């Protein structure tokens, strides 16, 4: 199948679930073709959702970041692993307590579902993306897990892309706690199908009508495959064609970036 046919098949989809880091931007740098892609989604009246495994920012903060980059969208177009984690825990144990290692996006999401913060005997230790990481927090988390708190990770990403390279993400940050306690965390974000089902409910679309766009084989693409959603891998973030060959599965489509769909 040629690139023109691939692009036509992708453009025919009714709904688009797009990752952000590595697809829409790198850090504070908007990627080529993104303004045109968003305008095309609006013009064609496509249903779309920007879904990120990053748990640092609230939807409002993501909206404001995109506005600074020149993209004006309502905050309802953003869904994060922090929101997915908070929803999951509110169903598992309504009104529970948690010790949180994370930023405002995760803390606010947990408060908004009725959770309170507890550093003595919480129901859960929840770890998300954060730059305020310390030995003291790891020590506290380890001892709380050993006392019975369940260990939860907002996402299983080891790294995330930024303008000048990569940064450690949640799985890298939570691994010392797993190793010290001998307990494995439960990760809510991609590729967990829970997050994909939440996204589909928000869009009101079926799996057949939807495509997921991402730059990572180990989260975005496998999330689509396990949720039976067509996948588009873009080369604008973490992955390269050599990366694809390392995995026992393949994306439905591969393009250089979202620019290819509209430029």
Q: Report the chain's C-alpha Rg in angstroms.
A: 18
C-alpha–C-alpha distance, residues 221 and 244, integer Å: 10
Report CA-CA distances (Å) from 226 to 13, 157, 187, 220: 19, 17, 15, 10
For the four alpha carbons of 200, 20, 158 and 137, in that order, the dihedral sign comes to negative
Sign of CA dihedral 107, 112, 113, 118: positive
* Contact between 150 and 186 (Cβ < 8 Å): yes
Distance of CA 129 to the CA centre of its chain: 11
- Calpha distance 209→206 (Å, rounded): 5
For the chain, where are the alpha helices, taking DSSP H only? 3-11, 34-43, 59-68, 81-92, 104-112, 135-146, 170-181, 193-203, 222-226, 241-244, 259-262
Bridge partners, 161 (sequence order)? 166
19 annotated active-site: yes
| Set 21, 157, 218, 220: catalytic member | 21
Q: Which stretch of DSSP H or E encloses residue 15?
A: strand 15-18
- Catalytic positions are 19, 21
């Amino acid at each position: 199948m040629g690139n023109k046919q691939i692009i036509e098949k992708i453009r025919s989809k009714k709904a688009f679930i797009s990752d952000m880091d590595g697809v829409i931007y790198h850090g504070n740098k908007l990627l080529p073709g993104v303004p045109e892609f968003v305008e095309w989604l609006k013009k064609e009246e496509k249903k779309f959702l920007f879904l990120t495994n990053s748990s640092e920012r609230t939807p409002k903060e993501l909206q404001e970041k995109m506005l600074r980059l020149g993209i004006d969208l309502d905050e309802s177009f953003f869904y994060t692993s922090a929101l997915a984690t908070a929803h999951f825990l509110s169903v598992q144990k309504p009104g529970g307590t948690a010790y949180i290692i994370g930023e405002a996006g995760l803390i606010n999401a947990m408060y908004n579902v009725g959770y309170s913060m507890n550093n003595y005997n919480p129901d859960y230790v929840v770890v998300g993306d954060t730059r305020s990481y310390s030995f003291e927090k790891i020590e506290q988390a380890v001892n709380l897990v050993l006392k019975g708190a369940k260990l939860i990770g907002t996402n299983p990403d080891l790294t995330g892309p930024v303008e000048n390279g990569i940064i450690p993400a949640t799985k890298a940050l939570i691994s010392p706690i797993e190793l010290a306690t001998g307990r494995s965390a439960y990760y809510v974000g991609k590729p967990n199908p829970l997050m994909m089902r939440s996204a589909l409910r928000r869009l009101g679309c079926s799996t057949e009508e939807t495509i997921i766009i991402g730059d990572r084989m180990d989260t975005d693409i496998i999330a689509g495959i396990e949720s039976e959603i067509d996948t588009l891998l873009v080369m604008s973030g973490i992955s390269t064609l050599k990366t694809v060959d390392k995995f026992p599965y393949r994306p439905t489509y591969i393009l250089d970036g979202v620019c290819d769909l509209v430029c």
